[in-house]
Amino acid sequence: MTQGGGNTPPFVLSGVPPTMRSDLNHEDLSMPLSGEAIRLMNYIDDVAVTLRRILALVPTLTAEERARIAEHLEQSKPNAGDVAKALAGK
């Protein structure tokens, strides 16, 4: 089937699909991650989504609410800093 009466197909793929390009920024591929490491990375992604939701709601809070939530966040344990230290082996 052609478009407009010419010999051009109705769709044309231009170049290589983005997932097949060699110029994509890849992490170190020398050692594959274990299922547990991938699961932990997914947990981190879930935490990031939750933090984005919190940030989206911050403008709706009163000054008192922001202060109380900030205090609660600072006192929560473990926190991201604790996890970063454990991952760094400290």
Q: Tens of pLDDT along 35-84?
A: 999 999 999 999 999 999 999 999 999 999 999 999 999 999 999 999 99
Peptide bond preceding 78 in cis form (omega within 30 of 0)? yes
In the structure encoding, which two tokens stand for residue 11, read together?
A: 């769709």
Residue 10 within a domain:
no
Residue 17 within a domain:
no
Asked whether 35 and 29 are in contact (CB, 8 A), the reply is no
- Number of domains composing the chain: 1
Task: Tell me which residue range forms the domain holding 61.
Answer: 33-88
Q: Which residue has the tokens 């991952």?
A: 87
CA distance 69 to 63: 10
Short-list 82, 6, 5, 22, CA closest to 47: 82
Residue 29 has what pLDDT? Answer: 64
Asked whether 33 and 44 are in contact (CB, 8 A), the reply is no
Residue 13 within a domain:
no
